[in-house]
């Protein structure tokens, strides 16, 4: 249900597109805490609109003109889909952007992308370098970034883009690494780790990712460039094997290496630029092991 203030206000609003998804829920909650419930709209694409959310088409027709800043967390998270139907994936990633800008939007955007744009790279990767993309999922993410860049420049707006490695927390898919670790510790089941466990994850808790995205709405308009990209991951490089070995020592987690890994991550992202913007926000990286421990023990924050 959209608040009366949001329906009638002539003041600018913040809208979260993809507010019903895993990270979207965290961002929506954090935005309401920071700006007030009546200043934030949650937008989703589901045909079954839940309370507090507005349908995307209704949002474009009724509320878009009131919005000064958009936080977009609506990208496709299904790694298999681009391999099955790339055209469908591309339209999912970019179609709604076209609707927003061709409907007259001239505000600013904080956009959650993916470090999958670096798939195929090895070692440390930086935002300003160009890397050949060797995976359809990463290619779809990169093309979405390029589309956003074009729309931003045509509309004289500004955008901050974050390339996320891995976020975890309440509501994440049960097939994600730390959700499976948490379940295995609880049930005693053997955790199946694909590949050799050498993929980098550099995880951040969802609450911290949400904090960054929400605070970015206060910085995007004053950026000196119209389109800026930041890698988004913990500053401590961590591989899957580092995490499961730590959990094995602490909780007697049982795991086994089995079969090839579908999407190995042989790179980790440079976070020098991220440190700079975190400093402007008054934020610092949380302790990686303390946060993981809270999560697997069930004491983490809830969206």
Render pLDDT for 208-239 as a digit per residue (tens, 0 to 9).
Answer: 999 999 999 999 989 999 999 999 999 999 99
Query: For residue 254, is pLDDT > 70?
Result: yes
**pLDDT recorded at residue 215:** 97
- The whole-model pTM stands at 0.94
**pLDDT recorded at residue 103:** 95
- pLDDT grade for 132, boundaries at 50, 70 and 90: confident
CA dist 67 and 201 (Å) reads 34
- pLDDT grade for 262, boundaries at 50, 70 and 90: confident
Q: Tokens standing for 43? A: 């937008």
What is the CATH number assigned to the segment(s) 4-168+203-233+267-285?
3.40.50.720
Q: What is the separation, in whole angstroms, between the first and last Cα of the chain?
A: 18
Widest Cα–Cα separation across the chain: 58
The continuous run of DSSP H or E covering 143 comes out as: helix 136-155
Task: Report whether 288 contacts 203 (CB < 8 A).
Answer: yes
> CA angle at residue 71 from 50 to 40, to 5 degrees?
55
Strand partners, 14: 40, 69
Q: Tokens standing for 251? A: 């909780």
All structural domains of the chain with their residue ranges: 4-168+203-233+267-285
Query: For residue 303, is pLDDT > 70?
Result: no
Phi, then psi, of 203 in degrees rounded to 5: -75, 145
CA dist 197 and 257 (Å) reads 7
Question: Could you identify the residue written with the tokens 């370098």?
Answer: 129
Lowest mean pLDDT among 4-8, 95-99, 158-162: 4-8
Q: Which region holds residue 18: left if phi is over 0, alpha if psi is between -120 and 50, else beta? A: left
Phi, then psi, of 87 in degrees rounded to 5: -60, -45
Query: For residue 53, is pLDDT > 70?
Result: yes
């Amino acid at each position: 249900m959209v608040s009366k203030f949001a329906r009638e206000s002539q003041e600018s609003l913040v809208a979260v597109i993809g507010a019903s998804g895993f990270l979207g829920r965290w961002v929506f909650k954090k935005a309401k805490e920071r700006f007030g419930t009546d200043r934030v709209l949650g937008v989703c694409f589901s045909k079954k609109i839940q309370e507090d959310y507005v349908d995307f088409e209704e949002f474009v027709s009724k509320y878009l003109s009131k919005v000064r800043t958009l936080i977009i967390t609506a990208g496709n998270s299904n790694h298999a889909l681009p391999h099955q139907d790339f055209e469908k994936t591309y339209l999912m990633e970019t179609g709604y952007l076209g609707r927003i800008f061709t409907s007259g939007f001239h505000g600013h955007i904080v956009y959650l992308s993916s470090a999958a744009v670096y798939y195929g790279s090895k070692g440390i990767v930086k935002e300003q370098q160009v890397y050949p993309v060797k995976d359809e999922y990463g290619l779809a993410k990169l093309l979405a970034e390029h589309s956003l860049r074009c729309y931003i420049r045509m509309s004289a707006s500004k955008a901050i883009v974050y390339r996320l490695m891995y976020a975890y927390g309440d509501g994440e898919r049960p097939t994600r690494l730390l959700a499976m670790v948490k379940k295995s510790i609880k049930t005693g089941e053997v955790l199946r780790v694909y590949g050799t466990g050498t993929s980098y994850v550099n995880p951040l808790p969802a609450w911290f990712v949400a904090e960054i995205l929400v605070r970015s709405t206060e910085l995007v308009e004053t950026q000196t460039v119209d389109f800026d990209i930041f890698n988004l991951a913990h500053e401590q490089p961590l591989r899957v094997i580092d995490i499961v070995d730590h959990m094995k020592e602490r909780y007697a987690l049982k795991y086994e290496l089995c079969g090839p890994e579908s999407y190995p991550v042989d790179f980790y992202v440079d976070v020098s630029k991220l440190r700079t913007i975190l400093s402007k926000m008054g934020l610092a990286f949380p302790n990686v092991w303390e946060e993981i421990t809270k999560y697997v023990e069930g004491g983490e924050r809830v969206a």
